[in-house]
Structure 1
Amino acid sequence: MTVLRTAERAFDFDVPVVIVGAGAAGLTAALAARDAGAEVLLLERDAHPRGSTSMSQGYACAAGTKIQRDKGIDDDPDKFYADIMARTKGTADPLTARTVADQSGPTVDWLVERHAIPFQMNISWAGFFGHTVNRLHGVPTRTGEELHGSLIRAAEDAGVTLVTGAHVDAIFADADGVVSGVRVRRKDGGEERIGCKALVLTTCGFGANHDMVRDHIPSFGSAPYYRYFGHEGNEGEGIRFGVELGGAIGCMDAYQGYGALAEPYGIIVNYDMVMQGAITVNVEGKRFSNENADISGQALNVLRQPDGIGWIVFDDARRQIVADLPEYRELAALGAVRSAETADALADLIKVPREALARTLEETARMAAGELACPFGRDFTQHPPLSGPLHAIKTTGALFHTQGGLKVDAGARVLREDGTPLPNLLAGGGTACSISGNGVDGYLPAAGLATAITLGRLAGTTAADLAAA
């Protein structure tokens, strides 16, 4: 990949707005640009669009939506902004945080009303991991596949031209950074040069680029059991294009981790049951963290344990919370859920010391009764202790998605180091700097898709305006 500095405009054809990457951000940008009257070409490297959106659970956090109001939920952009800054300890970019806080609600409303994206509120994580109110909007099946499919259908209905198997490997720009077009390579060796008046980069993050991870996220890149669970195409191409064109980057050490990835199945374990009283132990049968303090940072907590492994231990009451969710059903069908009538039998089944597991369960029962303080600061008194038949799922931690990227303004235009915008380059999704601040512990659940659809919508609208100027 490269930037070709030339004023030449010898292109095979021209399109006002070109968008690179057909994930949630790119599709939302395409919808917004079409709504603004622009002709749009959406280029996707893969033969079939999937990426991080399809691999997610399809949730986006948003504040002040009509869906929230209909549910009687009191939320607004100021509360969301305060939660972002509190969670990130003030390290989130204030402009991006303010933009997402202000525009996420209108974006969800627009997607629902204008493009029939079936967002609803089907879980509540209020009070967990930084959200003070319930603002997680998901689709009925609670899968990223449904959300991605809905966005693709909406784009088709809106007249977006989506071309797959089209890898953008070069950008044409003049000495002042004005983008004039892109070069597309096909798997069969074919090449096309496409001119444009505005270019939107939504090629996701850099989690699959091990060199970039080691350079920018040493805390994870140096973990003894490094694991990446994300789309293999997340190689940071959009970020690297933007930097070469003169764009600034921010919060490159930020990422979304997850400490409950079923091992060796590569399927997430629904965290709702941990939030409601389940625990995680290591291969020694001991708890090692406050499981509910930081859903993202729990990845490193697990990876730092012997063999980089944890076991989520739960009972029938906690199992019922997730029994109907697609991930749990799949894990149960694969035999990933180990079950036993007693703690000793479960310990033998998962090969942890009987005495240690029994002691851990006894201690957490005393914590639930208020007789003992958790050494890691978790409050167990809100839920009954584990009892009866017990179950366990083997887990590990993984990097799911990087959160740093190109700095953008309130219209999603890529910014230079001096804060001025590049003439006609925009970014969204994992290509743009998110609202997660620095490190792993600033990630708010569903912030990735919230940033993707919000900046995507703004990028599409801005690109259409630039193309019409």
Structure 2
Amino acid sequence: MADLALTPDAFDLSVGTLIVGGGACGMVAALAAAEAGQEVLVVEADPVPQGSTALSAGLIPAAGTRFQRDAGIDDDPARFAADIQRKAKDENDPALVAALAEGAGPAIEWLADGFGLPFSVVTDFDYPGHSRRRMHGLPSRAGRELIDRLRATVEGAGIDVICERRVETLFHDGPRVTGAALTRPDGGTETVGCDKLVLACNGFGGNRDMVARHMPDIDGAVWFGHDGNRGEAVAWGEALGAATRHLGAYQGHGNVAHPHGILVTWATIGEGGVQVNRDGHRFWDESQGYSEAARVVLAQPGGTAVTVFDDRIAGIARQFEDFRNAEAQGAIRTADTLSELAEALDLPAEALSGALADIPADGTDAFGRRWSGQRLAPPYCGVRVTGALFHTQGGLETDGTGRVRATDGRPFPNLFAAGGAACGVSGAGDSGYLSGNGLLAAVVLGRAAGAAAV
């Protein structure tokens, strides 16, 4: 439930900056706000802060960082911004794209230098849409490590975080938000007044009614995101008269091990793997990206496909914790021949062999995918996958500081949104998704919103 109410006569307590949500966005906003000298309180519905970040690979794209320079990568924000707009078919607000592209590098280095987060660049494979290798992650390449380190950093900074408190009601006086009502596990409520409110709480992927209304082509996907993503931020914003943008945009993932429910890194495709349906036939240009894959895989017979790669690619994929988990649970099958792999995955052997034989060693295949270099070679690997909805990309319209805009374009005086609550820069549908854009917007806008003066 997401309600609005007029400001009560008194609050149980008051703070300078109230942050709703304890994922990566909320934690980054809290660190920035505290650094700016604000009194900060983070409220989180879960027993432990984690959010959608904990379910991801925790990778953040940034251009022009010292980590790239140390790895010999020549990159800059202008090139990054062009990549974002190209992938999103120029559907984004150029000012917001520029703010994110220019703010990403400083945000990564701020987290590294100020708080000791040991970022490094993924240098051994390319992500869809990026013309340079610019994905920054922590050693495990797991979002769980990122959120755990952020949580420990927030706690070490003495910032108050209250868990198991779901915000049900926002209080306001016209366009100014004045506080919130929190529901405790025992059903009781407490009220918190604030000078500034940062919505770092959620998208709406866990609200199936909203998904069916705004993105019907992905309605049948497995929900792989955080169950707290119920859409309250959008509901509060619309009730206050805020503008929304790209509510039909989402990050899907068409490489989720089935029925194990484990994300399988797109490196299995990006380094030369392919997808076939249960009849053993390829069905699309896999290089478009894993968000686009969700819808295409779901459209195959049975709503599943098989990702086929080899042991060389598996060696690259093992840097990701999720892939190692998939192997440990038996989702990844390995065989010395294609016939044996086909038998293990219940595929027609002749069709599978034909699908791989049709891939040119150098050139463009029948689906428009460009090939050059190594071919798949034994031992072969495969995993049965399905399509999933990971999180929504649309949301409240904001400027480059995370300030929410009203439908007439004017900014709210003290309302900010980032992370899943705000519209990102992935375009209007699934085709604009650029790897890491969700965390990019969460970290950069979260930092800006936390630091902004009221």
TM-score normalised by structure 2 residue count = 0.97
Which residue in the other structure is 1:246 paired with?
Answer: 241
> Are residues 236 and 288 of structure 1, via their aligned partners in 2, closer, same or farther at CA, if it must alter by over 3 Å?
same
Q: Which residue of 1 aligns with 2:159?
A: 160
What is the CA–CA distance in structure 1 between the aligned matches of 2:8 and 2:272, rounded to whole Å?
A: 63
Paired residue type of 2:182: V
Matches within 5 A, 1:277-288: 277-288=272-283
Equivalent residue for 1:376, pick from 359, 367, 370: 367
Q: How big is the shift at 1:121?
A: 1.0
SS of residue in 1 equivalent to 2:286: coil
Give the CA deviation at 1:280: 1.1
How many residue pairs match? The answer is 454
Query: Which of 328, 333, 350 in structure 2 is aligned with 1:333?
Result: 328
The aligned residue for residue 180 of structure 2 is 182
Determine helix, strand or coil for the equivalent of 2:358: helix
* Distance (Å, rounded) in 1 between the aligned partners of 2:378 and 2:7: 73
Q: Classify 1:324/1:120 alpha carbon distance in 2 versus 1 (closer, same or farther; 3 Å).
A: closer
CA distance in 2, matches of 1:48, 1:388: 44
2:175 and 2:9 map into 1 onto residues whose CA distance is 14
Which whole-Å CA distance do the structure 1 matches of 2:36 and 2:46 have between them? Answer: 27
> If the length of structure 1 is used for normalisation, what is the TM-score?
0.94
Deviation larger for 54-63 or 324-333: 324-333
Structure 2 partner of 1:35: 35
Q: Distance in 2 between matches of 1:306 and 1:20?
A: 41
Query: Is the aligned partner of 1:387 residue 2:387?
Result: no
- 1:319 offset after TM fit, Å? 2.2
Amino acid aligned to 2:196: A
**Partner of 1:297: helix, strand, or coil?**
helix
Measure how far apart 1:125 and its partner are. Answer: 4.7
Inter-partner Cα distance in structure 2 for 1:340 and 1:75: 40
Residue equivalent to 1:398: 388
Task: Verify the 8 A CA contact 1:125 1:133 in the aligned structure 2.
Answer: no
Partner amino acid, structure 1, of 2:347:
V
CA 1:9/1:200 → structure 2, altered by over 3 Å: closer, same or farther? Answer: farther
What residue is the counterpart of 2:104 in the other structure?
A: 104
List per-residue Cα deviations over 1:300-349 (Å, max 9, x = no partner). Answer: 11111100111111222222222343222212221112222222222222
SS, match of residue 92 in structure 1: coil
**In 1, Cα distance between the equivalents of 2:378 and 2:289?**
28
Single out whichever of 284-293 and 326-335 deviates more from structure 2: 326-335
Q: Which moved more, 1:420-429 or 1:238-247?
A: 238-247
The CA distance in 2 between the partners of 1:306 and 1:328, in whole Å, is 25
Q: Does 1:201 align with 2:191?
A: no
Contact 1:9 1:180 in 2 (8 A): no
Distance 2:123 2:58 in 1: 12
Alignment of 1:3-402 (within 5 A): 3-126=3-126, 128-174=127-173, 176-221=174-219, 225-364=220-359, 367-368=360-361, 373-382=364-373, 384-402=374-392
**3-state secondary structure, aligned to 1:211:** helix
Aligned in 2, Cα 1:7/1:189: closer, same or farther, shift over 3 Å? closer
Distance 2:18 2:5 in 1: 18
Task: Tell me, yes or no, if the aligned pair for 1:336 and 1:394 is still in contact at 8 Å.
Answer: yes
Deviation of 1:426 after TM superposition, in Å, equals 0.5
2: CA distance between counterparts of 1:316 and 1:226? 29
- Secondary structure, in 3 states, of the residue corresponding to 2:190? strand
- For the residue of structure 2 that corresponds to 1:399, the secondary structure is strand
Whether the 8 Å contact between 1:34 and 1:159 is mirrored in structure 2 is no
| CA-CA distance at 1:66 after TM superposition | 2.2
Matched AA of 2:361: A
Amino acid at match of 1:378: R
Q: Which runs of 5+ in 1 are unaligned?
A: none
Q: For the residues of structure 1 that align with 2:124 and 2:405, how far apart are their CA atoms?
A: 36
Shift in Å at residue 23 of structure 1?
Answer: 0.4
1:433 Cα deviation after fit: 0.6
Q: Which amino acid aligns with 2:244?
A: I
* Contact 2:140 2:319 (C-alpha < 8 Å) held by counterparts: no
Give the SS at the match of 1:335.
coil
SS of the aligned residue for 1:375 comes to: coil
Tell whether the 8 Å contact from 1:20 to 1:26 is kept in structure 2 after alignment. Answer: yes
Please report how far the alpha carbon of residue 242 of structure 1 lies from its aligned counterpart in structure 2 after TM superposition: 1.4
Mapped partners of 1:316, 1:6: distance in 2? 61
Looking at structure 2, the residues matched to 392 and 173 of structure 1 have their Cα atoms a distance apart, in angstroms, of 54
Structure 2 distance, partners of 1:323, 1:414, is 40
Preserved contact between residue 125 and residue 131 of structure 1 (Cα < 8 Å): no
Q: Which amino acid aligns with 1:354?
A: A
CA deviations over 1:61-115 (Å, ceiling 9, x no partner):
1122222223232222211111111111110122221210111111111111111
SS at match of 1:181: strand
Q: Is the 8 A contact 1:3 1:245 kept in 2?
A: no
Tell me how far 1:294 sits from its aligned partner.
2.2
Identity %: 43
Structure 2 distance, partners of 1:194, 1:315, is: 55
Which sections of structure 2, spanning at least 5 residues, go unmatched? none
Worse-matched range after superposition: 424-433 or 153-162: 153-162
SS of equivalent to 1:393: strand
1:170 and 1:344 mapped to 2: Cα distance? 59
